[in-house]
Amino acid sequence: DTGVSQDPRHKITKRGQNVTFRCDPISEHNRLYWYRQTLGQGPEFLTYFQNEAQLEKSRLLSDRFSAERPKGSFSTLEIQRTEQGDSAMYLCASSPNQGRQETQYFGPGTRLLVL
């Protein structure tokens, strides 16, 4: 399968713990996005990478959230000191950087539950 993959698919953690999610984009896609989706809502933009450079961060991304894409391939999203309000689906998407009207290809998501 050469699509976007995310790991883990599910994560249950206790409030205050740190969690890290991984995203492997489609190879040769140099744009990578992180979104958060809660029930009944569409995905909300969190951050975006062009290769290894983090070009945009939403104000939704508090200081407890950090994302990296060290070699311009896979990316990690870390949440420190998790709160119950962090419970959501975290989606990763990649796109090939071919100009306008770009298709984003989404991974299956990591579903986080903070108890």
Partner 1 sequence: RKEVEQDPGPFNVPEGATVAFNCTYSNSASQSFFWYRQDCRKEPKLLMSVYSSGNEDGRFTAQLNRASQYISLLIRDSKLSDSATYLCVVEYNFNKFYFGSGTKLNVKP
Rounded to whole angstroms, the Cα distance separating 1 from 53 reads: 26
Q: Scanning residues 3 to 42, which ones bind partner 1 (CB under 8 A)? A: 31, 33, 35, 40-42
Rounded to whole angstroms, the Cα distance separating 48 from 21 reads: 15
| Interface pick for partner 1 out of 5, 7, 45, 96 (rule CB under 8 A) | 45
Q: Which pair of tokens denotes residue 15?
A: 């409030």
Q: In whole angstroms, how close is the CB of 81 to partner 1 at the nearest point?
A: 27
* Count of residues engaged in binding partner 1, rule: CB under 8 A: 24
- Nearest to partner 1 of 27, 101 (CB atom): 101
Burial zone of 50 (CB within 10 Å; 0-12 exposed, 13-18 middle, 19+ buried):
middle
Q: Write down the residue that tokens 């713990």 correspond to.
A: 17
Rounded to whole angstroms, the Cα distance separating 48 from 17 reads: 25
x/- track of binding to partner 1 for residues 86-105 (CB under 8 A) = -----x--------xxxxxx
State yes or no: residue 78 binds partner 1 (CB under 8 A).
no
By CB under 8 A, name the binding residues for partner 1: 31, 33, 35, 40-45, 48, 50, 55-56, 91, 100-109
